[in-house]
């Protein structure tokens, strides 16, 4: 069985779940909407430019998890998934995942977005394996800190290598679908890299390397 790996934001989803979680928190009055929107926009632009300081961003994005009771967070997240995420799941994304499932491939989402936000999204796609940035928990309470290596840029490669070693699997016949030039380190490791609605930098890289370019937008 080959490994079929999917980036999440702007790949399987027609939008960015990390960014939209911040929007949702502001709309609900859980964070200061004006401040959060400004910072969210700054970090998102830095991400697109390939200049994101991932630890600075995670300090910002995980802070709200440490400021509220866990059950409230889970309730808000359920509303967030229904209102913000389900509309971003295209039929083409579902069909692609199901094609690999029918082929007997091992399905995985790998994303820089934290696992609090992304674990229920992986469940939406019925994808059993998720590598995401892990928020630290102590006594069932989020601390606002990161546990371990963030799965961002080369961190995705390190986290995947650890998973492969743990599961005694290889990248033989593997696929990776992504929209972002930030994922070029991992795209270059798999046997079948595919650019999905790519940003300009990844589009150029894909053309230069004769990688397939596809769209998952309905």
For the chain, the structural domain boundaries read 3-214
- Of the residues 7, 16, 105, 197, only one is catalytic, namely 7
CA angle 32, 87, 177 (to 5 degrees): 100
Q: Is there a catalytic annotation at residue 7?
A: yes
pTM score of the predicted model: 0.94
Residue 61 makes CB contacts below 8 A (sequence gap 6+) with 18, 21, 22, 43, 114
Q: Is there a catalytic annotation at residue 9?
A: yes
H helix runs in the chain, sequence order: 17-27, 33-48, 54-62, 70-80, 91-102, 115-124, 154-167, 184-187, 200-208
Burial class (CB in 10 A: 0-12, 13-18, 19+), 102: exposed
pLDDT of residue 165: 98
- Of the residues 9, 16, 183, 197, only one is catalytic, namely 9
> Tokens at residue 99, please?
């094609």
> Tokens at residue 187, please?
């795209």
Low-confidence ranges of the chain (pLDDT < 70): none
Contact 187, 204 (CB under 8 A): no
DSSP percent split of the chain into helix, strand, coil, nearest 5? 55, 20, 25
pLDDT of residue 149: 94
CA atoms within 13 A of residue 193's CA, in its CB half-sphere: 23
pLDDT of residue 60: 92
Residue 101 makes CB contacts below 8 A (sequence gap 6+) with 107, 126
Neighbours of 88 (CB within 10 A): 18
pLDDT of residue 145: 96
Homologous superfamily, domain 3-214: HAD superfamily/HAD-like (3.40.50.1000)
pLDDT of residue 40: 84
Predicted confidence (pLDDT) per residue in 189-215, tens digit: 999 999 999 999 999 999 999 999 999
């Amino acid at each position: 069985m080959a490994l079929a790996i999917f980036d999440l934001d702007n790949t399987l989803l027609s939008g960015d779940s990390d960014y939209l979680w911040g929007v949702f928190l502001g709309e609900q009055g859980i964070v200061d909407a004006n401040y959060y929107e400004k910072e969210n926009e700054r970090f998102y632009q830095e991400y697109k430019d390939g200049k994101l300081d991932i630890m600075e961003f995670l300090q910002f994005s995980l802070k709200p998890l440490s400021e509220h009771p866990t059950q409230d967070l889970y309730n808000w997240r359920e509303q967030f998934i229904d209102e913000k995420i389900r509309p971003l799941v295209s039929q083409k994304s579902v069909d692609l995942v199901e094609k690999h499932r029918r082929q007997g491939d091992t399905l995985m989402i790998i994303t820089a977005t934290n696992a609090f936000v992304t674990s229920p999204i992986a469940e939406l796609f019925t994808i059993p394996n998720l590598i995401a940035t892990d928020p630290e928990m102590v006594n069932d309470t989020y601390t606002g800190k990161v546990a371990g290596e963030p799965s961002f840029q080369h961190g995705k490669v390190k986290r995947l290598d650890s998973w492969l070693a743990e599961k005694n699997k290889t990248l033989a016949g593997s696929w990776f679908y992504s929209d972002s030039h930030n994922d070029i380190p991992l795209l270059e490791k798999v046997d079948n890299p595919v650019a999905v609605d790519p940003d300009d930098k990844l589009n150029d890289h894909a053309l230069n390397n004769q990688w397939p370019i596809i769209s998952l937008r309905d």
